Amino acid sequence: MTSKIFVEEQQVIEDSFELGVKIFNSGFRPTFIVGLWRGGSTVGIYLQECLQTLNITTNHIALRTSYNGRRDYEAALKTPNKPISVHGTQYLLDTLNREDRLLLVDDVFGSGRTLAAVLEKLTMRLKRNLPQEIKTACLFQRQSSSASVAPPDYVGKTISSWVTLPYELQDLSLAELKTHKPAFLTITEQNALALPSSFYYESS
């Protein structure tokens, strides 16, 4: 995995709105949107706002998983059976029912294991209250994805590179920070803050 694309916030906004319209045009009317922290929660906010503006009112919340970026993804390729933990489901367990129409949202679909882990936990815990209609959406789907689970129902764009989102700083080299996140370096320098050497991730 050598190439990266750096996505600007405006692109995330516009692509999310396009994805929202795609979901609307499909006829699916979610009653509940769950964004997967971190990136999926950002996309989920834009989707919720887009759908609400189109008169689709939804409940919404973010869930956190143990997945933590590029290094976790690369490690998972070597140990695909390592479980992914899902946190923060209590509100869903208290609120969801069979009549709900649930939309699960992530930023990037690669192996599919994160969405699968969320679905597995909700299925196990909700039992009879599991919504009968569940759809998945992602902003980006990796073209080289070796996913062993079903692809998302809604995809914004198909890509072949690793995506670096606007808020991401870790796992970047100093050169990448200088090129794509110069404001962060300026702020740290103005405040005389030294970054730890372990912060920099030299891409292969």
Q: What is the pLDDT of residues 54-112, one digit of tens each?
A: 999 999 999 998 766 666 666 555 666 778 889 999 999 999 999 999 999 999 998 88
**Mean pLDDT within 124-138:** 97
Q: Is the pLDDT of residue 37 over 50?
A: yes
pLDDT at 96: 98
Which stretch of DSSP H or E encloses residue 71? helix 70-78
In whole angstroms, give the CA distance from residue 75 to residue 23.
33
Weakest mean pLDDT among 11-25, 34-48, 142-156? 142-156
Q: Out of 52-61, 120-129, 187-196, which region has the weakest mean confidence (pLDDT)? A: 187-196
pLDDT at position 148 is 66
pLDDT at 42 over 50: yes
Is the distance from CB of 157 to CB of 141 less than 8 angstroms?
yes
H or E segment and range at residue 65: strand 59-65
Residues facing 33 on adjacent strands: 60, 103
How far apart CA 23 and CA 17 sit, in angstroms, is 10
State the average pLDDT over residues 157-163: 91
195 — pLDDT class (breaks 50, 70, 90): confident
Tell me what the mean pLDDT of segment 193-202 comes to: 67
Q: What is the mean pLDDT of the chain?
A: 89
The structure's pTM equals 0.88
Q: Which domains does the chain have, with CATH numbers?
A: 4-168 (3.40.50.2020), 169-204 (no CATH)
Q: What is the pLDDT of residue 73?
A: 61
Specify the range with the lowest mean pLDDT, choosing from 3-12, 24-33, 70-79: 70-79
Structure token pair of residue 65: 């998983």
Using the predicted structure, report yes or no on whether residue 204 has a pLDDT greater than 50. no
| Residues above pLDDT 90, as percent of the chain | 70
